[in-house]
Amino acid sequence: MKAALILFVRNAVLGKVKTRIANSVGDQEALAIYKKLLAFTLNVALPVEADKFVFYSDYIEEFDHVPAHYMKEKQEGEDLGIRMLNAFKKTNLTYDKIILIGSDCPYISAPVLEEAFKALDDNEVVLGPAEDGGYYLIGMRRIVEEIFIGLPWSQSNLLDETVKILTALKIEYSLLKPLADIDTIEDWQRFQILKGTFK
């Protein structure tokens, strides 16, 4: 089965990324943290056997540090759910298994991504629960539009609401191990204590 890995990113613009972290340490430091997270995620996904895409939030950056292995696209839609749905629809024309991640989870690894693809052998949907109640990964073998429309994005009940919909629709799904996202300066400081730095 042909596999695709989508990385959803924000354009690395001062004052536009990691705004909750910026409230604590300023825009420059928040941008630096964002760039570290993005570089880590791009590199950690490289060994995974899948075609790889970067979907930018506002415009395609031609001259950035994204490895040549990644194809570049632009997100389309009025909110996060519709943007993700449209990215799945676009890649679903060519690929049988599709996984989408952000760049906020420094605990993710190539084995976690490989486990997610393997989970799609027996399930239509796979989710990576985030410790804050959302998810750091979503993958599908068949597009389920209902889990992208009208959900509480960036809220602590996102995962629960997504699972409720899948259960009501009798769609088989798999949950990966929970991992933490980096949303606040406290999250970042905790990561530095636990992991030290990026490998």
Q: What is the CATH number of the domain that holds 124?
A: 3.90.550.10
**Does residue 199 belong to any structural domain of this protein?**
no
| End-to-end alpha carbon distance in the chain | 31
**Does residue 105 belong to any structural domain of this protein?**
yes
pLDDT of 196 strictly over 80: no
What predicted TM-score, i.e. pTM, was given to this entire model? 0.95
**Does residue 57 belong to any structural domain of this protein?**
yes
**Does residue 90 belong to any structural domain of this protein?**
yes
**Does residue 132 belong to any structural domain of this protein?**
yes
Domain count, the chain: 1
- For residue 160, the tally of other CB atoms under 10 A from its CB is 13
Residue 30: strand pairing partners: none
**Does residue 152 belong to any structural domain of this protein?**
yes
125-143 pLDDT per residue, tens = 999 999 999 999 999 999 9
Domain that holds residue 48: 3-194
Question: Are 129 and 176 spatial neighbours (Cβ–Cβ below 8 Å)?
Answer: yes
Q: What is the mean pLDDT of the chain?
A: 95
Q: What pLDDT score does 185 carry?
A: 95
User: Given the structure tokens 């410790």, which residue do they identify?
Assistant: 131
**Does residue 85 belong to any structural domain of this protein?**
yes
- For residue 63, the tally of other CB atoms under 10 A from its CB is 5
